[in-house]
């Protein structure tokens, strides 16, 4: 058997944590032959609830679950961590200004980044789920000077999965018959889910791949698809009465599994692409160092930005502006947290 891998989940007593932990313990994230050691980090007020979740994890008798530890101390939680899932964050409360929100989260993600720097394993991989996810990831990375910047990522896979599902439904095909979507930029309302290089396979397994914007019309893409995906979180809250939790957990698993095990090849034998917020190397005009969502593949345990997929203005007239707008927002957030002394 392989040695256990250490997985830390912050905000473990929260809604996403509850949907996430059991799937990790069942082997869905790292593979059916990899035992896991779970570290649950919570604030003191939620420790008892996290203990309750740990009891349920024991009750599930997962063959792959080697150990569970619950703590409020980041130094303990991140000791030897190989997969850090940073879910716990400070939500925006009524009347809270953006600066207050960034500052409150800086108070969480700065120390957690420092603890990762001081205690994590050499091969640590971090995904930030707690909002504002991209900028929280930037803050954590900036406090982990000894950890390569490309180990800090933020979750836009939920947005990507939502986009896949919306396109498949509109085209009347299975989700496996859709590929090539990119979510660009920030995990926020400015995000740009881009169909200009997407494809749809019409006619099932024996069918041929066609450009998505020949199968669905560009007007739908601009007027319905983009806002629908970007505002899906709010739609879930209004219908469900609570924010996305199981779908966010599922996307977090997809992100970490693809990062660790690779994105592999699609049904057509070509590299399978997805979207993830990773540190920019300056590609696509995104300022270096920002943690922005890109078209990516994962190979050899590393994310790589796929070049040559500039949003196509011939198919969506304001494509370039949409990319610029969401990147500008990330740049403003970086300036704001720099101004607050959080980097």
Residues 196 and 323: beta-carbon distance below 8 Å:
no
Q: Which is nearer to ligand NAI, 73 or 223 (CB)?
A: 73
Judged by CB under 6 A, the residue of 124, 133, 144, 181 near ligand NAI is 133
Q: Which is nearer to ligand NAI, 34 or 245 (CB)?
A: 245
Residues 307 and 273: beta-carbon distance below 8 Å:
no
Minimum CB separation of residue 14 from ligand NAI in Å reads 2
Does 108 contact ligand NAI by CB under 6 A? yes
Does 293 contact ligand NAI by CB under 6 A? no
How does DSSP classify residue 94?
A: T
Does 248 contact ligand NAI by CB under 6 A? yes
Q: Which is nearer to ligand NAI, 230 or 316 (CB)?
A: 230
187 is catalytic: yes
Given strand 302-305, what is the order of strands in its sheet? Answer: 65-71, 36-41, 5-10, 83-86, 125-128, 152-154, 274-279, 291-299, 302-305
CA distance 310 to 324: 12
Does 106 contact ligand NAI by CB under 6 A? no
Q: Which is nearer to ligand NAI, 78 or 215 (CB)?
A: 78
- Tell me which stretch binds ligand NAI (CB under 6 A): 81-89, 205-213, 299-307, 318-326: 81-89
Does 89 contact ligand NAI by CB under 6 A? yes
Give the residue nearest to ligand NAI (CB).
14
Q: Which residue of the set 83, 187, 197, 255 is catalytic?
A: 187
Residues 111-130 that bind ligand NAI (CB under 6 A): 129-130
Judged by CB under 6 A, the residue of 120, 124, 139, 155 near ligand NAI is 155
Count of residues interacting with ligand NAI (CB under 6 A): 27
Does 88 contact ligand NAI by CB under 6 A? yes
Does 11 contact ligand NAI by CB under 6 A? yes
Judged by CB under 6 A, the residue of 16, 101, 230, 291 near ligand NAI is 16
Q: For ligand NAI, what does the binding mask look like between residues 254 and 273, x meaning CB under 6 A? A: --------------------
Minimum CB separation of residue 212 from ligand NAI in Å reads 23
CA distance 229 to 291: 20
Q: Which is nearer to ligand NAI, 196 or 247 (CB)?
A: 247
Phi-psi region of 181 (alpha: psi -120 to 50; beta: other; left: phi over 0): beta
Does 343 contact ligand NAI by CB under 6 A? no
Does 342 contact ligand NAI by CB under 6 A? no
CA distance 41 to 37: 13
Residues 188 and 132: beta-carbon distance below 8 Å:
yes
What are the distances in angstroms from CA 30 to CA 53, 100, 147, 235?
Answer: 20, 36, 22, 31
DSSP string, 192-240: EEE-TT-EEEETGGGSEEEEHHHHS-HHHIIIIIHHHHHTHHHHHHHHH
Q: Which residues contact 23 (CB under 8 A, 6 or more apart)?
A: 29, 249, 250, 253
Buried b (16+ CB within 10 A) or exposed e, 31-50: eeebbbbbbbbbeeebbebb
Q: What is the largest CA-CA distance in the chain?
A: 56
Minimum CB separation of residue 77 from ligand NAI in Å reads 8
| Residues near ligand NAI (CB under 6 A) | 10-11, 13-17, 41-43, 46, 87-89, 91, 108, 129-131, 133, 155, 158, 187, 243-245, 248
């Amino acid at each position: 058997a392989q040695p256990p891998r250490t997985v830390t989940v912050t905000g473990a007593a929260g809604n996403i944590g509850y949907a996430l932990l059991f799937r990790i313990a069942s082997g869905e994230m790292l593979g059916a032959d990899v035992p896991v050691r779970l570290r649950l980090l919570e604030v003191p007020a939620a420790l008892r609830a996290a203990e309750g979740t740990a009891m349920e994890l024991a009750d599930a008798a997962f063959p792959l679950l080697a150990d569970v530890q619950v703590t409020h101390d980041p130094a303990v939680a991140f000791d030897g961590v190989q997969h850090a899932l940073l879910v716990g964050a400070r939500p925006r409360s009524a009347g809270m200004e953006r600066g207050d929100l960034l500052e409150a989260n800086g108070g969480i993600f700065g120390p957690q980044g420092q603890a990762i720097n001081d205690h994590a394993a050499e091969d640590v991989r971090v995904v930030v789920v707690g909002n504002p996810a991209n900028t929280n990831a930037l803050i954590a990375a900036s406090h982990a000077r000894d950890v390569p910047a490309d180990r800090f990522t933020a979750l836009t896979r939920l947005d990507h999965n939502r986009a896949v599902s919306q396109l498949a439904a509109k085209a009347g095909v299975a989700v496996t018959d859709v590929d090539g979507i990119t979510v660009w930029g920030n995990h926020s309302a400015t995000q740009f889910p881009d169909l200009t290089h997407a494809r749809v396979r019409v006619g099932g397994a024996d069918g041929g791949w066609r450009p998505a914007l020949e199968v669905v019309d560009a007007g739908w893409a601009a007027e319905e698809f983009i806002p629908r995906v970007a505002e899906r979180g709010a739609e879930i809250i209004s219908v469900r009465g609570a924010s996305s939790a199981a779908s966010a957990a599922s996307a977090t698993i997809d992100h970490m599994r693809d990062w660790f095990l690779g994105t592999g090849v699609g049904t057509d034998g070509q590299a399978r692409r997805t979207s993830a917020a990773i540190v920019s190397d300056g590609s696509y005009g995104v300022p270096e160092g920002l943690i922005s969502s890109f078209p990516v593949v994962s190979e050899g345990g590393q994310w790589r930005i796929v070049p040559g997929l500039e949003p196509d203005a011939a198919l969506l007239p304001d494509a370039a502006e949409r990319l610029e707008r969401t990147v500008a927002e990330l740049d403003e957030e970086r300036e704001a947290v720099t101004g607050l002394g959080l980097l």
